[in-house]
Structure 1
Amino acid sequence: MQTWHVYLLRCADKSLYCGITNNLDKRVAAHNAGTASKYTRAHLPVSLAASVEVESKSEALKLELAIKKLPARQKIDRLLDHATSGHDTTG
């Protein structure tokens, strides 16, 4: 089974970008190369702010959606809480 990551990037303007991947190092490098997303391409450079491993792509997509609905100040805490909780992806 493939491991998936939900990650938050801190952009140069201090904004946060949330995404999922099955290869975290490669994906962060692609963001910094300007080839991963339109948003991060316009907000370079980026650095990894937080990430968690999840068991499936489905779980990663659900957690990503929950994170994206939150105000910026709550995103990192919510992502890190997921790593230490029962993995509830509801808001």
Structure 2
Amino acid sequence: MKIYYVYIVKCSDNSYYTGVTNDLERRINEHNDGFKPESYTYKRRPVELVFYYEFNDINQAIDFEKQVKGWSRKKKEAIINDNWDLLSELSKNRMKK
């Protein structure tokens, strides 16, 4: 069974990039090696892996990646810090604005 990873890297400018891959080590190396000058991380190297979550189903991984990409920085930092219980509260606070 293949494993897929949704990951977050912290870039050198302190921004976050979220992606999905089936080979986490290779993908992080690709970000740091800078294969694609047009990519988000190219001018923000080096990147550091700060979070990953495993999936057995590529469609679930892609759905979660899309969800996380739409999240605020605070929500991303909540899962990076393994504070999943904060997600609901952070969603409520965002909707009040």
TM-score when scaled to structure 1? 0.81
Q: Which is greater in Rg?
A: 2
Q: Secondary structure at the match of 2:41?
A: helix
Corresponding position of 1:2: 2
How far residue 32 of structure 1 moved from its aligned partner, in angstroms, is 0.1
How far residue 75 of structure 1 moved from its aligned partner, in angstroms, is 1.2
Q: Which runs of structure 1 show a deviation greater than 3 angstroms over 4 or more consecutive aligned residues?
A: 78-81
Q: Is the 8 A contact 1:67 1:78 kept in 2?
A: no
Q: Is the 8 A contact 1:8 1:16 kept in 2?
A: yes
Structure 1 unaligned segments of length 5 or more: list them: 82-91
Corresponding position of 2:15: 15
Corresponding position of 2:68: 67
Root-mean-square deviation (Å)? 1.6
Identity of aligned residues (%): 31
How many matched pairs?
A: 81
Corresponding position of 1:48: 49
TM-score when scaled to structure 2? 0.76
Q: Secondary structure at the match of 1:38?
A: coil
1:34-65 CA-partner distances (Å, limit 9, x unpaired): 12661000111100010010111101100001
Could you tell me which amino acid in structure 2 is paired with residue 8 of structure 1?
I
